[in-house]
Amino acid sequence: MWLSEIFCSVGWLAIVFAKDYWWLDLGRLINGFGIGLISYTVPIYISEITPKNIRGLFVSTHMLVLCCGFSMTFLLGTALSWRILALIGNAPCILHIIGVFFIPESPRWLAKTGREKELEAALQRLRGENTDISQELAEIKDYTEICQRLLEARIVDLFKWKYAHSLVVGVGLMLLQQLAGSIAIPSYASSIFESADFSSTFGTTATAIIQVSLLFKYIVDILLQIPTTIMGIFLMDKSGRKPLLLVSSAGTCLGCFLVGLSFLLQDFNQWKELTSILMLVGMVAHSASFYTGMAGLPLVVMSEIYPINVKGSAGNLVTFSKWFSSRIVTYTFNFIFEWSSAGAFFLFSIICGATVLFVAKLVPETKGRRLEEIQATMTHFLG
């Protein structure tokens, strides 16, 4: 976490003091290294330090804070210059660089490295001075001893049969999250609204399109993104990960289908007065459903299913899968959308439908289970 924030801080400073476009590119590139590291490290760290009954709540809070940060940045960006905004973005990095020295190391990492005294001290500090940690301490040590009989896994080792289930679940959830258009849809909101003929519904010229797309952005950020994320957080440790993933992916499937249907009706000149409204309903339904579960839950599941000897390699692969697929979808969406507006969203709807089947058949329920228990089941370490 410390190293990733160093990258992010340097990246933001390169943007703040940019004198040419290549400074901006360099800053974004350095930021990318930092974000790539921290996007996996933070949920893993949180999952390893929290008790099993509130683990989902705490890992998902990571997504809530991201949502709040996105919303605040969007609002500040309407009033401040990009240099000032980049300078503000550097402030949390500095706070984290300092704050990381005051938080305990992960007990499971300490167990892996054989630092037993520090392990006990860190676990006692995390659970409270008057808490009996003997049982949890023994479970962590026992499982770590089993893992230490195995060599530290490399990327190629992840493709062994015993890791097949956890690899398919982790990579699959991340790929499906991105292939369903989670980043592409808000990124191209203006183009989507323009194609839906919002200028004739809400006014004339491109100004109306921009206003409607900004309105949608505000609705998603403030009225949908944060409340639905909060709802998902509180439901996660009550209803479980799997039911929320199923409901969320089914909702995004319906939302994309409605948007695709609105474009299809528009192509056939049917219900022209309702197509724009149908499209807006579909977009809102997609966003609300996505932030209820699929936005943050893949990170939660990913942080829980990999044993300690493969976490590094698995994290690299899963994080790469997420950001690479995000880049591909964001880049290709405009071409697919130009080819067929309805087809693009029907394609997203099919992927969301496939996510429902994927979750139902392959994703385990991890609510209320110890990390060691989950990982042993996934990799069949303990029979």
3-state secondary structure of 5: helix
pLDDT (average), residues 193-199: 64
pLDDT exceeds cutoff 80 at 260: yes
Same-domain pairing of 247 and 265? yes
* Residues in Cβ contact with 150 at an 8 Å cutoff, skipping those fewer than 6 apart: 309
Same-domain pairing of 213 and 307? yes
Same-domain pairing of 114 and 167? no
Same-domain pairing of 371 and 342? yes
In the chain, what is the straight-line distance between the N-terminal and C-terminal CA atoms, in Å? Answer: 34
pLDDT (average), residues 277-292: 82
Tell me the pLDDT band of 12, cut-offs 50, 70 and 90: very high
pLDDT exceeds cutoff 50 at 258: yes
DSSP 1: -
Same-domain pairing of 204 and 312? yes
- Which pLDDT tens digit goes with each residue over 106-152? 888 888 888 888 988 998 998 888 888 888 888 888 777 766 665 55
Same-domain pairing of 56 and 18? yes
Task: Quote the pLDDT of residue 201.
Answer: 46
Same-domain pairing of 177 and 145? no
Domain count, the chain: 3
pLDDT (average), residues 27-36: 91
Q: Which of 69, 71, 77, 49 is nearest to 136 (CA)?
A: 49
pTM of the model: 0.70
Q: For Cα atoms 67, 166, 351, give the angle at the middle one, nearest 5 degrees.
A: 60
Domain range for 72 is 1-103
- Which pLDDT tens digit goes with each residue over 205-256? 444 444 444 455 555 555 556 666 666 666 666 677 788 889 889 999 999 9
CA-CA-CA-CA dihedral for 262, 263, 264, 266, to nearest 10: 90
Token pair, residue 279, equals 């499209």
Residue 19 burial by Cβ neighbours in a 10 Å radius (0-12, 13-18, 19+): exposed
Residue of 271 and 204 predicted with greater confidence: 271
* Residues in Cβ contact with 107 at an 8 Å cutoff, skipping those fewer than 6 apart: 48, 49, 119, 122, 123, 126, 140
Same-domain pairing of 70 and 138? no
Same-domain pairing of 293 and 332? yes
- Within 10 angstroms of residue 86's Cβ, the number of other Cβ atoms is 21
Same-domain pairing of 71 and 99? yes
Residue of 305 and 57 predicted with greater confidence: 305
Tell me the pLDDT band of 382, cut-offs 50, 70 and 90: very low
3-state secondary structure of 342: helix
3-state secondary structure of 78: coil
Task: Quote the pLDDT of residue 202.
Answer: 47
Task: Quote the pLDDT of residue 270.
Answer: 72
Contact yes or no for 350/267 (Cβ under 8 A): no
Task: Quote the pLDDT of residue 273.
Answer: 67
CA separation for the pair 149, 307 (Å, rounded): 12
Percent of the chain surpassing pLDDT 90: 22
Same-domain pairing of 346 and 363? yes
Give the sign of the dihedral formed by CA 40, CA 44, CA 47, CA 50. Answer: negative
Residue that terminates a domain, selected from 41, 68, 103? 103
Residue of 272 and 47 predicted with greater confidence: 47
- Which pLDDT tens digit goes with each residue over 307-356? 777 777 787 788 888 888 888 988 888 888 888 888 999 999 999 999 99
DSSP-assigned states of every residue in 102-170: GSPPPHHHHHHTT-HHHHHHHHHHHH-TTS--HHHHHHHHHHHHHHHTSPPP-TGGGGSGGGHHHHHHH
CA separation for the pair 199, 276 (Å, rounded): 10
CATH number at residue 356: 1.20.1250.20
3-state secondary structure of 103: coil
Same-domain pairing of 33 and 179? no
